[in-house]
Each structure stands twice: as C-alpha cells, then as structure tokens.
Amino acid sequence: MDTYERLWNGWRAAYVGSTPDQSVEAGSVFSAILQSGLSDDMTNIVHRGTLVFAILNAFPYSTGHTLVVPYRQVANLEDLTPAETSELWTTVTDAVRAVKAAYEPGGVNVGLNLGKPAGGSISEHLHVHVVPRWVGDGNFMTAIANTRTLPEALSDTAAKLRAAWPR
C-alpha cells in the first residue's frame, strides 16, 4: 500500500472557499482589446463572427495558439446563450481547420480553463484554447528554463491563420 505524507493546513479553507472580486465592470483584457479601437492586424484578431471572435494568444504555448472568445464577457460556459454556444463551437472547429491548414501539426489541443483554480488566467472572460502540437514540441527549453521557443512573429502567424480561415 502506498503511503502519502499529508500536510494539514486547515487555515487555508477560508482562503480556498473565498470568492475574489471579479467585477465585470473592470473588464477583461479581451474586452479592453475590443474597446481599444485598434485594428485586427494590431491586436492579432484573426477572425470576427457575429457573437465570437478568434485572437492569437499573446503568450502562446506553440506557434498558432489561438483563443476563441465570445464578445460578451461571461465567466461560465453555462452562461452563454444558445446562439453564443453554437457560434463558439463552430468557430473552434474553424480555428482547428485553419491551424491544420496553416501549420500541419501532428495534433491539436482544444480546451477551456473555467475558473482560477482550473488554471484560468483570464477567468472572468471565457475563452477556448486551440493549440497546435507536434511530437517533441515540449523540448528542454520548456522543461529546464521555463521558456518557449517560437519560430515566427505573432503578426506572421495571424496573417497565415487569416489566409487559412475557412470561408
């Protein structure tokens, strides 16, 4: 039988159970980008739909890492309207097609991190990650130096994905 050491720290229950202030009025980085008036080229938005858009991750795990985001700032998947849900998943599918056409990855990760404890760095504004993957792309730089190596500028990636986006 395996044994595990436990460190009991009951004082953390209050912290873990607390809800941080996530005021919608403050706005997410996605809302700020949309309200900035900057062009899609400057913000690396690669697709705009009626209810959702696709934008490159500013801190990508790999080249082509795209985020599909509803225009309306909501934190939870279940808070989307049926129309937003439908367009979100259609756009995720189109993003996968564009990534595959532009980069021919060996695989693609698609996922959400809902809430801060799940790893959501922008948990107040739901977004779906579309991450192209290749065998061996988690090289020693990521493991040893906590650094990712990306072979092209985000503006070049955005241009490639816009060109590959399904019409």
127 carries an active-site annotation: yes
Q: Which of 47, 65, 125, 127 is catalytic?
A: 127
Helix (H, G, I), strand (E, B) or coil at 35: helix
The answer to whether 114 and 123 have CB atoms below 8 angstroms apart is yes
Query: With the CA atoms of 141, 59, 93 and 43 taken in that order, what torsion angle do they form, in degrees rounded to the nearest 10?
Result: -150
- What are the tokens at 45? 């938005």
The answer to whether 103 and 64 have CB atoms below 8 angstroms apart is yes
Number of neighbouring beta carbons within 10 Å of residue 141:
11
What's the half-sphere exposure (Cβ side, CA atoms, 13 Å) at 87? 17
Active site residues: 127
